[in-house]
Amino acid sequence: MERADGGQLGPLPVAASATGSRDTGPAAAADDRWRWFRGQAFWLVAPALLLLVVCLGLPLAIVTLRSFSEPQWGWQNYVWFFGTPVNLTVLQRTFAISAWVTLVCVIAGYPYAYVMTVVGPKMRLVLILCVLVPFWVSGVVRTLAWVILLQDSGVINSVIRSLGLGPVKLIRTQTGVVIGMAQVLLPFMILPLYSVMKAIDLRLLQAARSLGASPARAFAQVYLPLSLPGVYAGAIIVFILALGFYITPALLGGPRSTMLSTLIQNQVLSLLNWGRGGAMGVVLLIATFILLALAAPLSRQPHKTGSRRQ
Amino acid sequence: MASPSTRGAAIDLKSVSKHYGSFIALDEVSLRIEPGEFMTLLGPSGSGKTTTLNIVAGFTEVSSGSLDVGGKSVIGVPAHKRNTGVVFQHYALFPHMTVSRNVAYPLTLRGIANPDREARVRKALDMVKMTDFGHRFPSELSGGQQQRVALARAIVFDPPLLLMDEPLGALDKKLREWLQLEIKRIHRELGTTFVYVTHDQEEALVLSDRIAVFNQGRIEQIGSGRQLYDEPETLFVGKFVGDSTILRGAPSTSGDETAIDIAGRKVTTAKRLPGGVKPAMLLRPEKLSLARRGMGGQDRNTLPGRIGEAIYLGSGSKYEVVLADTSKAIVRSTLDAETFAIGDEVDLIFAGSDVKLLADDEKADLNLT
């Protein structure tokens, strides 16, 4: 009747095993095998890599090349882009709209993702479906639905009117564009947020409370910081996707909410000016890279950076 | 720090019940814990010990009953206003804060500013012997180190009450035994009331002033480790605390004597249970002795059996003896006693006065597995 060994408990990892044991024989052999396997495993990504090179890298290279080569070799397309005020206005607006869309997605997506982590499995399934259903509907259809909702005599405005407030101009305004884009991009915010949030140990909040933190402080000082990597990940995806959005701003926006992609489309398809269109694309790409580089340090998790050795 | 005698808070639970729908997690539990006492809540999983701890911590509301801490009712007081230290099995260190910031957190919440705060963090880390680890993140520490930091964090704000929920459950045996002694030392140095939850009876015996044995949402017995071992009041307590042999069979009584028939052989004790209660005999391993079949013990109770398992312990031997009715007896013998091998035919010998006569409880068996 020995029961004192406590063996029936303990689902938890014992971090002690993660330290030491670096130079022992079997472990080193396993390391070698793993290295060999990793070398071979590279070939598993070859198809995807090939696809990426052929379908993305190559066209990108051609576009970049043509931005310098048409109509003749030189910087003229870039000189034109930065010398034309309307281009700069649109570039700035593109970033501004994308930032607004990102903000709306964070505000709408954060509580939604949180609720997904605390409800029961059935309710969670419903919530996930609600996020995913828009993915299964064509973007054009969704955007046209927004046209109906947002127009001056649309559903939203009739509700506002029935509340005794004047009609609000939504369609063909920047607000309308932001609303439509945020709806399309919301899943890209919610899913990474959810995957980070569901890994947060809710018992940490209990610990914080036992130490004297009110529920609000426990949230602000423990939960929020731990969920930020998800916010950054979602925000970066949404922001980058928003920068390149074409259909939604084209259908919901007016002339004063034109985004860069519309200008590019105009240059390439209407004016057949591949050089200028290409230059605009390259500018957008580089601006995005710069922004990413600036945002990268934010998403780094402080507690994952330290050395594990002792 | 105040003197040890004034630091601990008394805890008084009166008729506390907790229901989850139709499930009764706690059934009219009453328990008084003295200031500065080390009280262990011992029991199998689902016995209500953790529910009790969560109620004292303020994580769970009672369904009925009263709870006083330090002489004041804390029913309805939220967890963050109870000023109670809690140590969890899963450490619950904040992964985004260094060790120092983790330990400083409860002080920051209490508005304690820096020269003082730093000094107290250092003092708490000193106490758990983690002084040099302040700049590390929890992910860079082993399980035992993390739990020591968690302990420092729970005592740094001088709570009058410290609750620990299976704090060593995730650690290996060697580390656990060492940390048990550390916890005992810290309890002695602080004078805080400690309430400790565990399913490990050895751990409970090592640590506690008193132990409350939980079973199915009730307390079976409260007492020192010695009381629980020597004078168990129920079969469950006898089985849960320490090794034991249970003898069951058709009972008969004559005068003040109770006899139990085991496969045709009667064993007796000069004890009686109140009428109508089915008795079972409980014997501790050191109260049993072994002899080769037919070699003595005529004046005492003897039962024939066969050695089923023989374990050499260094300080002696432990035997599992299979009796005629296939039940098993556990015998511990000293170094100088005769040794036996598996399969040896033996007599199990014991004095009637060493028998604990307890009400038989079939449920006591089910709960242990």
**Local confidence band at B170 (pLDDT 50, 70, 90 cut-offs):** confident
pLDDT at position A211 is 95
pLDDT, greater one: A95 or A1:
A95
Section B158-173 average pLDDT: 91
Contacts A–B by Cβ distance under 8 A: 133
Q: Percent of chain B at pLDDT above 90?
A: 56
Per-residue pLDDT at A225 exceeds 90: yes
Task: For residues A183 and A105, give the distance between their C-alpha atoms in angstroms, rounded to a whole number.
Answer: 8
Per-residue pLDDT at B154 exceeds 90: yes
pLDDT at position A301 is 58
What would the two tokens of residue A26 be?
């079997």
Chain B residue with minimum CA distance to A300: B96
Section A200-228 average pLDDT: 93
Chain B residue with minimum CA distance to A7: B169
Q: Do A16 and B138 touch (CB under 8 A)?
A: no
Q: What is the pLDDT of residues A233-262, one digit of tens each?
A: 999 999 999 998 888 888 888 888 889 998
**One fold for B4-239 and B243-366:** no
Q: Do B139 and A5 touch (CB under 8 A)?
A: no
Chain B from 139 to 158: CB within 8 A of any A CB: 139-144, 146, 153-154, 157
Task: For residues A286 and A295, give the distance between their C-alpha atoms in angstroms, rounded to a whole number.
Answer: 14
Chain A residue with minimum CA distance to B163: A210
* Domain B4-239 class, CATH top level: alpha beta
pLDDT at position A101 is 96
Q: A166-170, B76-80, B184-188: lowest mean pLDDT where?
A: A166-170
Per-residue pLDDT at A123 exceeds 90: yes
Task: For residues B91 and B168, give the distance between their C-alpha atoms in angstroms, rounded to a whole number.
Answer: 10
Helix (H) or strand (E) holding B199: none
Section B127-144 average pLDDT: 92
Per-residue pLDDT at A141 exceeds 80: yes
Q: Do A306 and B139 touch (CB under 8 A)?
A: yes
Q: Which of A3, A211, A231, A299 to mutate to test the interface with B (most CBs of B within 10 A)?
A: A211
Task: For residues B123 and A75, give the distance between their C-alpha atoms in angstroms, rounded to a whole number.
Answer: 67
Say whether residue B180 is in contact with chain A using an 8 A CB cutoff: no
Task: For residues B280 and B102, give the distance between their C-alpha atoms in angstroms, rounded to a whole number.
Answer: 52
Task: For residues B200 and B52, give the distance between their C-alpha atoms in angstroms, rounded to a whole number.
Answer: 17
Q: Do B239 and A1 touch (CB under 8 A)?
A: yes
What would the two tokens of residue A242 be?
């928003």
pLDDT at position B298 is 66
Section B81-97 average pLDDT: 93
**Local confidence band at B296 (pLDDT 50, 70, 90 cut-offs):** low
Task: For residues B161 and B71, give the distance between their C-alpha atoms in angstroms, rounded to a whole number.
Answer: 13
Task: For residues B102 and B152, give the distance between their C-alpha atoms in angstroms, rounded to a whole number.
Answer: 9
**Local confidence band at B353 (pLDDT 50, 70, 90 cut-offs):** confident
pLDDT at position B364 is 63
pLDDT at position A25 is 56
Chain B residue with minimum CA distance to A201: B92
Per-residue pLDDT at A14 exceeds 60: no
pLDDT at position A157 is 85
Residue pointed to by tokens 């920051």: B108
Q: Which of B82, B101, B140 to mutate to test the interface with A (most CBs of A within 10 A)?
A: B140
Given a contact cutoff of 8 angstroms between Cβ atoms, the answer to whether B86 and B163 are in contact is yes
Å between B275 CA and nearest CA of chain A: 31
pLDDT at position A87 is 92
Say whether residue B109 is in contact with chain A using an 8 A CB cutoff: yes
Query: Which of these, A249, A276, A302, A218, lies nearest to A75 by C-alpha position?
Result: A276
**Local confidence band at B133 (pLDDT 50, 70, 90 cut-offs):** very high
Given a contact cutoff of 8 angstroms between Cβ atoms, the answer to whether A201 and B92 are in contact is yes
* Max CA separation in chain A (angstroms): 91
Chain A residue with minimum CA distance to B153: A211
Average pLDDT, chain A: 83
Q: Do B79 and A210 touch (CB under 8 A)?
A: yes
Query: Which of these, B300, B303, B301, B345, lies nearest to B327 by C-alpha position?
Result: B303
pTM assigned to the model: 0.79
Q: How far is CA B279 from CA A215, B350, B360, in A?
A: 53, 18, 5
Å between A204 CA and nearest CA of chain B: 5
Residues 6+ apart with CB under 8 A from A216: none
pLDDT at position A308 is 35
Q: Do A4 and B244 touch (CB under 8 A)?
A: no
Task: For residues B100 and B118, give the distance between their C-alpha atoms in angstroms, rounded to a whole number.
Answer: 9
Say whether residue B137 is in contact with chain A using an 8 A CB cutoff: yes
Go through the domains of chain A in sequence order and give each one's CATH number.
Answer: 59-299 (1.10.3720.10)
Helix (H) or strand (E) holding B218: strand B218-223
Å between A194 CA and nearest CA of chain B: 18
pLDDT at position B363 is 67
Residues 6+ apart with CB under 8 A from B208: B38, B39, B40, B196, B224, B225
Please state the ipTM of this predicted complex.
Answer: 0.81
Chain A residue with minimum CA distance to B170: A10
Residues of chain B with C-beta less than 8 angstroms from the C-beta of A14:
142-143, 170-172
Q: What is the pLDDT of residues B239-280, one digit of tens each?
A: 889 888 988 888 888 878 888 888 878 888 888 888 778 888
Task: For residues A162 and B194, give the distance between their C-alpha atoms in angstroms, rounded to a whole number.
Answer: 63
pLDDT at position A4 is 40
* Domain B243-366 class, CATH top level: mainly beta
Say whether residue B326 is in contact with chain A using an 8 A CB cutoff: no
Out of B92, B109, B140, closest to residue A217 by CB: B109
pLDDT at position B249 is 85
**Local confidence band at A77 (pLDDT 50, 70, 90 cut-offs):** very high
Per-residue pLDDT at B73 exceeds 60: yes
Say whether residue B311 is in contact with chain A using an 8 A CB cutoff: no
**Local confidence band at B295 (pLDDT 50, 70, 90 cut-offs):** confident
Task: For residues B263 and B175, give the distance between their C-alpha atoms in angstroms, rounded to a whole number.
Answer: 45
Q: Which of A202, A210, A305 to mutate to test the interface with B (most CBs of B within 10 A)?
A: A210
3-state secondary structure string across A13-66: CCHHHHCCCCCCHHHHHHHHHHHHHHHHHHHHHHHHHHHHHHHHHHHHHHHHHH
Å between A106 CA and nearest CA of chain B: 21
Out of B92, B239, B240, closest to residue A207 by CB: B92
Q: Do A214 and B80 touch (CB under 8 A)?
A: yes
Q: What is the pLDDT of residues B180-205, one digit of tens each?
A: 999 999 999 998 999 999 999 999 99
Given a contact cutoff of 8 angstroms between Cβ atoms, the answer to whether A107 and A189 are in contact is no
Top-ranked range on mean pLDDT: pick from A166-170, A305-309, B35-39 = B35-39
Residues of chain B with C-beta less than 8 angstroms from the C-beta of A310:
140
Q: What is the pLDDT of residues A267-307, one digit of tens each?
A: 888 888 999 999 999 999 999 899 888 887 776 655 543 33
Residue pointed to by tokens 């509301």: B61
DSSP B219-251: EEEEE-HHHHHHS-SSHHHHHHSS--EEE--EE
Residues of chain B with C-beta less than 8 angstroms from the C-beta of A8:
45, 199
Q: Do A222 and B243 touch (CB under 8 A)?
A: no
B242 class by beta-carbon count within 10 Å (0-12 exposed, 13-18 middle, 19+ buried): buried
Out of A203, A212, A303, closest to residue B96 by CB: A303
**Local confidence band at A13 (pLDDT 50, 70, 90 cut-offs):** very low
Q: How far is CA B72 from CA A4, A280, B161, B192, in A?
A: 37, 72, 13, 17
Collapsing DSSP to helix, strand or coil, B27 comes out as: strand
Query: Which of these, A229, A270, A220, A264, lies nearest to A245 by C-alpha position?
Result: A264
Per-residue pLDDT at A310 exceeds 50: no
* Max CA separation in chain B (angstroms): 78
- C-alpha B39: how far from its chain's center? 9
Residues of chain B with C-beta less than 8 angstroms from the C-beta of A202:
none
Where in chain B are the domains? 4-239, 243-366
Section B135-151 average pLDDT: 92
Q: Do A9 and B169 touch (CB under 8 A)?
A: yes
Section A114-127 average pLDDT: 93
What would the two tokens of residue B227 be?
């009381």
Q: Do A207 and B88 touch (CB under 8 A)?
A: yes
Chain A residue with minimum CA distance to B150: A207
Say whether residue B165 is in contact with chain A using an 8 A CB cutoff: no
Q: What is the pLDDT of residues B47-68, one digit of tens each?
A: 999 999 999 999 999 999 999 9
